[in-house]
Chain A
Amino acid sequence: GNSVTQMEGPVTLSEEAFLTINCTYTATGYPSLFWYVQYPGEGLQLLLKATKADDKGSNKGFEATYRKETTSFHLEKGSVQVSDSAVYFCALSDDIKTSYDKVIFGPGTSLSVIP
């Protein structure tokens, strides 16, 4: 079945450091890939997405490239800020050729950025 694996946290970085959060997936079809972010005390919100191989999703300085050959969708940011402290969830939804597909979430990676 479909699944998402993320690097384990928590991750602690100093402000302006480079961020990478690894995400790999297993899917039967041609999934779309997502990163969701959950700020403290809030629900999840979509950060970025990519719908096909080699697509790059980007938002708020974050980027992730859909790599079909390595089944990966790693999240990166060149210079993190304290306000980026949150939990990040990698997710996928398989293509919808046959039936309704739920979004599958990874376990989440907690990021703390210290001044």
Chain B
Amino acid sequence: SAVISQKPSRDICQRGTSLTIQCQVDSQVTMMFWYRQQPGQSLTLIATANQGSEATYESGFVIDKFPISRPNLTFSTLTVSNMSPEDSSIYLCSVERQSPVNTEAFFGQGTRLTVV
């Protein structure tokens, strides 16, 4: 398994400001994933973060809006930039562990963001 600490757990932010979310894993992982979960919706993958290279963004998400850092194999940050009320969501950090049989996902507790 993997223990993932994510912070802050929640925040209320003014529109136009930026918030950086931190994700710390208790062991080294190759890839870390950032998801958004809008109210009442499923998970949407924002980007995949590899250590030492630029993050890979999914369709509809851009680096200017969601810059990601991945300075080492146990840590990543996601910044939500120039926020608007539409960015109010839960943001989830995730890692995946591969075994000989399958890949399994583990999640942080999420950051509940409200933009006012």
- Residues of chain A touching chain B, judged by Cβ–Cβ distance below 8 Å, are 31-32, 34, 36, 41-46, 49, 51, 89, 91, 93, 95-96, 100-103, 105-108, 110
B42 contacts the other chain (CB 8 A): yes
Is B109 engaged at the interface, CB distance under 8 Å to the other chain? Answer: yes
Chain A residues positioned under 8 Å from B31 (CB to CB): 100
Q: Does the CB pair A108–B42 fall under 8 Å?
A: yes
Minimum CB–CB distance from A87 to chain B (whole Å) comes to: 8
Is the Cβ of A89 less than 8 Å from the Cβ of B42? yes
Given A41-B112, A108-B42, are A102 and B33 neighbors across the interface (CB < 8 Å)? yes
A101 in contact with B103 (CB, 8 Å):
yes
Contact A105 B107 (CB under 8 A): no
A46 to B33 Cα, complex, angstroms:
16
- If A100-B31, A103-B96, A105-B42 touch, whether A46 touches B103 (CB-CB below 8 Å) is no
Report the bound CA distance from A108 to B109 in whole Å: 17
Interface flag for B86 (CB, 8 Å): no
Considering the chains assembled together, what is the distance between the CA atoms of A110 and B109 in angstroms?
18
Q: What residues on A are CB-neighbors of B92 within 8 Å?
A: 43-44
**B64 CB-CB contact with A under 8 Å:** no
Q: Interface size (B, Cβ < 8 Å)?
A: 26
Taken together as a complex, chains A and B put the C-alpha atoms of A51 and B101 apart, in Å, by 7
Report the Cα distance A12→B77, complex, angstroms.
Answer: 37
Chain B binding surface SS class: strand
The residues of B with any CB-CB pair to A shorter than 8 Å are 4, 6, 30-31, 33, 40-43, 45, 48, 92, 94, 96, 98, 101-110, 112
User: Shortest distance in angstroms between B30's beta carbon and chain A's nearest beta carbon?
Assistant: 8
The answer to whether A96 and B102 touch across the interface, beta carbons within 8 angstroms, is: yes
**Contact at B102–A91, with CB atoms within 8 Å?**
no
Contact A103 B42 (CB under 8 A): no
**A89-B42, A100-B98, A107-B42 given; A42·B109 CB < 8 A:** yes
Q: Give the nearest-CB partner of B10 in chain A.
A: A41
Q: Which of B42, B98, B102 has the most CB of A within 10 A?
A: B102
Q: Is the CB of A91 within 8 A of B98?
A: no
Question: Within the assembled complex, what's the spacing in Å between the Cα atoms of A102 and B97?
Answer: 10
